[in-house]
Structure 1
Amino acid sequence: MKKNKVADSQETSFGYTLSIINGKWKLLIIYYLSKNNKVRYNELQRKIGKITYKTLSSTLKEMESDGLIHRKEYPQIPPKVEYSLTEKGQTLWPIIQEMCQWGEHNKEK
């Protein structure tokens, strides 16, 4: 007898989506990048608030690896790095907007 697979495994479309946006900060990073086009690391950290350097750094690396964000490094001193959404990352923006609308309609007033 076969075991049922877990519903959120990466083999399903839903599971893949969850694996891409999982974590506490990814949707917030997508939100700020969609609102500001290009954001430098320190500016992003200020906008988010209570996120450690290590957490932000690892989250950005994951998102870059997943093809959601683009990291552009300028050869200058001090180093300048900007982050922006890729086309793939931009396709998540309408989903986030729908989530915001859902929150507006369903939060207690």
Structure 2
Amino acid sequence: MKDCTELKWLLIRQTTLKQRAVKTGTIEDEDAWLTADEYLNEYLDGQDIFIEQAALSILFDREKMHDALVKIIEMNRQHAEDQYGDPNKAESWSCVTVARAALNKEKVQ
């Protein structure tokens, strides 16, 4: 993607306004959502990005991140087993707790 920051902002704005329009059901909120949707589509067209490509890219990145988090947990559990004879010791390590929270879509403390 050429400019992920702007794309992310446009996507967040479009989805937030859609949620509001669905919740309130007002014409004003629906117009705001449709305008945001139009800006998003113009941006994607101008960048030669097709929504399918963007979605696939996001899914691929998400899958890679998931795999990396699982690997971090596995490696730390192996290290705990090698060093202490107990892989469960790694469950209290910050890198493992943060990785597990991310996998479970929890807020990281």
Instruction: Quickly name the TM-score band, shorter chain normalised.
Output: under 0.3
The structure in which a higher percent of residues are strand is 1
* Higher RCO (C-alpha 8 Å, min separation 6): 1
Structure number, greater radius of gyration: 2
TM-score by length of 2: 0.28
The structure in which a higher percent of residues are helix is 2
TM-score by length of 1: 0.28
